Structure 1
Amino acid sequence: MLDQSSEARTAHDTSLFSGLPGDIAVSFEFFPPKSARMEEQLWAALQELLPLHPQFVSVTYGAGGSTRERTHATVARIIRETSVPAAAHLTCVDASKAETRAIAEQYWEAGVRHIVALRGDAGQPGAAFVPHPDGYASAAELVAGLKEVADFRISVAAYPETHPDADCPQADLDNLKRKLDAGASQAISQFFFSADTFFRFRDAAAAAGITAPILPGILPVTNVAQARKFAGACGAAIPEWMDGLFEGLDERPATRQLVAATVAAELCRRLYAGGVRDFHFYTLNRAELAYAICHLLGLRPKEASQ
């Protein structure tokens, strides 16, 4: 049994990252490329991260289903050219149930066995989600519908700081439980910047009867303004101290990378001290930061999965 008090003392009394055994599991999220150059960048990042033997990699779905074909093509290529499990994101936005079913069937035929099922947001920032007249009205409905198509492994989203559309934290937890009860096997959290935020959420989820794994989503931040834009859409808080850390570094990209890796690695180390052993990284199609953080946590490359 994990002695968390001993772990906590170790994290405070010694070098934060000394002697870690690398007993973690990781997964990485990418977004579909918009050009041939971006596809090369994504593929280079994937190849760099594959030796860390990720549990899976996922490919996102643009607002309003705007990247549907590129998501499918990217996931299909990962399955075709590597042995790493690939998960495709799928949303409820602007699609009927029949259309969603057809997409799911195409994924299954392409070898996709894992889907990240999301309600999704409207294409315009701040616009309210409006279900398609013949579509799924919620992620829980989408999960149930996917399970009727095939025996997909399904991940859903969790919000440690509460989804902006939720009436209250408890309502958000109730919605998470509905998604898991509908057939999802795990949740992936939105990003956050305080380990205590995640631990409080994990405890609240357990108290609500949620027993499925919740993977913390880690976003290494190099651009605070961009992170604030992301945060506004998902209810995450950007701490004020983060602005100070990046002040004066606009023309120093290498330094920004070092600061970003340090901040995210310390967060992961605190999560590790609290018993977390699974981490999901939002890579933004770059490998350097995620790789560095995994290295600090003791994870070392194995033979590439290709």
Structure 2
Amino acid sequence: MTTSELYRAPRPTISFELYPPRTPRGEEQVHETAARLAAGEADYFSVTYGASGTTSERSQALVEHLLAETRVPVIAHLTCVGRSRSQLRDVVSGLLDAGVRDFLALRGDPPEGGEWSPGGDGLARACDLVALIREVEAERFGLPPASPVERLVARRTRRDGVSIAVAAYPGYTVPGLSGEFQVRDDELTALRAKQDAGADFAITQVFFDVEAYVALQRAARAAGIVLPLVPGVLPLTDPDRIRRLCALNRIPEPAELLAELEAAGGPEEAYALGVRRTADLVRGVLAAGAPGLHLYTFNQHAAVTRLLDEVLAPA
């Protein structure tokens, strides 16, 4: 079973993002986190992949560990940056050989301080990477159906092949305008291109307001995008981490939330407040029809476990 099949389940799915460790202590931590989450609610893990493939060996090692030591499906992130078309084909083939059947296809970012350029015969867009993965899949398992609807139907009857996730971008507000959340036209065009190339579902980047997710749902459906849109959720417990992610993703900081966290009476009070605010966000997106939750763990299980306990607690 591939991860795309999970979005036919009668309940929302719960999945977790992990990243490859840099040190032996980090390796122990991510293995412990994965083991704890695998014993609980995990429907799948995803494993990140550094700019220009800088963590490719460590990423693949973590993917292989998760496949060997847990029964949880694993999505391998893959980016276009820093590799030629033939190199990317080799990477996909190698991951398939290792047992991977699930990918997150991303354009990716250049190394810090570098410039984005596909170079040579490299791929320029995430939709190109989706198409390349489908090419390798066709060679390995047989040609998949062409349209998203046909692929979803086919997955009910076949157990081979791969699942491909892609990124989506929630709505944003424009200073000085109405305050309503909007989704950029170029991001919708890119998401539609990824769907048409063969993506199965999308995971959103970080957001802080239910309306940001609802705006994406509304705009995507109007643009003919039928992919399940899985909200990516960050436990809102660490102001410094929130600021770093906002800078990295070039999105406005949640000023009100940050002020509340910093005005709390101490670290534990701020942590509990952040968990409650995240739980409210989760309940809101689930009420809006989100097919699941993808939780950014930063290789730590405590915050996401406490969040799920809060969300699942009886009202």
Q: TM-score, normalised by structure 2?
A: 0.81
Match of 2:300 among 252, 262, 286: 286
Quick one: distance in 2 between partners of 1:120 and 1:262?
32
In structure 1, the partner of 2:233 is: 218
Q: CA deviation at 1:245?
A: 1.8
- Give the letter aligned to residue 275 of structure 2: A
Q: Which piece of structure 1 moves more, 93-102 or 240-249?
A: 240-249
In structure 1, the partner of 2:165 is: 155
Does residue 204 (structure 1) correspond to residue 194 (structure 2)? The answer is no
Q: Which has the higher contact order (CA 8 A, sep 6+)?
A: 1
Match of 2:276 among 245, 259, 262: 262
CA shift digits 1:179-238 (9 cap, x unpaired): 111011000000100001100111000000001101000011333233222222324332
Q: Which piece of structure 1 moves more, 152-161 or 70-79?
A: 152-161
SS in 2 for 1:90: strand
In structure 1, the partner of 2:64 is: 76
SS in 1 for 2:46: strand
- Give the letter aligned to residue 215 of structure 1: V
Aligned length: 272
Quick one: distance in 2 between partners of 1:299 and 1:81?
29
- Give the letter aligned to residue 309 of structure 2: H
In structure 1, the partner of 2:261 is: 246
Does residue 174 (structure 1) correspond to residue 162 (structure 2)? The answer is no
SS in 1 for 2:20: coil
- Change in Cα spacing, 1:299 to 1:255, as seen in structure 2 (3 Å) is closer
In structure 1, the partner of 2:177 is: none
Match of 2:32 among 41, 44, 48: 44
In structure 1, the partner of 2:6 is: none
Contact kept, 8 Å, 1:23 with 1:298, in 2: the verdict is no
Over the aligned positions, Cα root-mean-square deviation in angstroms equals 2.1
Contact kept, 8 Å, 1:52 with 1:299, in 2: the verdict is no
SS in 2 for 1:123: coil
Q: TM-score, normalised by structure 1?
A: 0.83
Quick one: distance in 2 between partners of 1:128 and 1:245?
37
SS in 1 for 2:254: coil
In structure 2, the partner of 1:165 is: none
Query: Residues 185-204 of structure 1 correspond to what in structure 2 (within 5 A)?
Result: 185-204=200-219
In structure 1, the partner of 2:243 is: 228
Q: Which runs of 5+ in 2 are unaligned?
A: 1-9, 138-160, 173-182
Contact kept, 8 Å, 2:229 with 2:291, in 1: the verdict is no
Contact kept, 8 Å, 1:24 with 1:299, in 2: the verdict is no
Quick one: distance in 1 between partners of 2:102 and 2:12?
21
CA shift digits 1:40-64 (9 cap, x unpaired): 1111111221133322100001122
Quick one: distance in 2 between partners of 1:65 and 1:245?
38
Quick one: distance in 1 between partners of 2:277 and 2:98?
38
- Give the letter aligned to residue 218 of structure 1: V
Contact kept, 8 Å, 2:45 with 2:75, in 1: the verdict is yes
Q: CA deviation at 1:128?
A: 4.2
Contact kept, 8 Å, 1:260 with 1:289, in 2: the verdict is no
Quick one: distance in 1 between partners of 2:208 and 2:89?
36
Does residue 31 (structure 1) correspond to residue 41 (structure 2)? The answer is no
